[in-house]
């Protein structure tokens, strides 16, 4: 197990991609902090399943958009496990808003999207930095999206927030070097409950992808694991996991 005795914090770890990352890291021997803001029951279920399989995990509540709660999350991680090796910034929020309905993109949607998707990862990386710098091989993986490559996605501001996260990944890769690597994954459509996409969206997306399917949460988790533990000479990079949509997109 490549992550034996390593400690990982996964924000938004209770559902979807975050859950898959928690399960994958735990299967590789990591002690996993399953962060959640509201999905407490789901987070505790993830912890229970990891524990039943012989792993070690803990559910810790913190809203990543609130700095004090983020600092508490990192403090609790250190108190429980003694340090931190991997931070996966997966927590995100969006409310589907058709792009052409500009007046429906309210200040409330702007604020919550940016606070969760952009300010939150900043808070987490800043709070985690002292812990990560202590451990050789430590790294950060930010879960972004292919939306910045297309300008598409659940909302205009969602795409913008993820573009900002890709930029911030490069900034933190410089700031944290050489002790800590910082990379990102950019998933395409993944069948989760995020943003409440209707079923036909996934069917259409699969038909448009060169691989004729959409990626799975488990495939995204595998890419996160690769960047966290195996890609030892990569930093400031983004790996797309989208069944080939962006790379093979027709002009």
Peptide bond into 178 cis (omega under 30): yes
Task: Determine the Cα–Cα distance for residues 216 and 176; give it in Å rounded to an integer.
Answer: 30
Q: Closest Cα to residue 217, out of 183, 171, 181, 185?
A: 185
- Whether residue 158 lies in the annotated active site: yes
Task: Determine the Cα–Cα distance for residues 204 and 197; give it in Å rounded to an integer.
Answer: 12
Which residue is catalytic, options 86, 123, 149, 158?
158
Q: Is 103 exposed, middle or buried (0-12, 13-18, 19+ CB in 10 A)?
A: exposed
Q: Closest Cα to residue 84, out of 139, 160, 122?
A: 139
- Would you name the residues annotated as active-site residues? 158
């Amino acid at each position: 197990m490549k992550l034996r005795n390593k400690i990982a914090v996964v924000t938004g770890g209770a559902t979807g991609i975050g859950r898959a990352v928690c399960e994958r890291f735990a299967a590789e021997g990591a002690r996993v902090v399953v962060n959640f803001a509201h999905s407490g029951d789901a987070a505790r279920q993830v912890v229970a399943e990891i524990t039943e399989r012989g792993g070690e995990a803990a559910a810790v509540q913190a809203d990543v958009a609130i700095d004090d709660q983020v600092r508490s999350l990192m403090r609790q991680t250190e108190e429980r496990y003694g340090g931190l090796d991997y931070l996966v910034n997966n927590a995100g929020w969006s409310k589907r808003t058709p792009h052409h309905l500009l007046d429906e993109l309210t200040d409330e949607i702007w604020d919550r999207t940016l606070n969760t998707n952009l300010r939150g990862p900043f808070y987490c990386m800043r709070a985690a930095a002292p812990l990560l710098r202590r451990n050789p091989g430590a790294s950060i993986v930010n879960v972004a999206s292919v939306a910045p490559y297309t300008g598409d996605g659940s909302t205009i501001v969602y795409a913008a927030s993820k573009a900002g996260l890709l930029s911030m990944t490069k900034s933190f890769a410089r700031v944290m070097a050489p002790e800590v690597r910082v990379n990102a994954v950019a998933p395409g459509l993944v069948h989760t409950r995020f943003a409440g996409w209707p079923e036909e969206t996934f069917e259409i997306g699969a038909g448009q992808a060169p691989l004729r399917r959409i990626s799975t949460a488990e495939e995204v988790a595998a890419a996160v694991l690769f960047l966290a533990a195996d890609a030892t000479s990569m930093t400031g990079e983004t790996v797309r996991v989208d069944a080939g949509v962006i790379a093979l997109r027709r002009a």
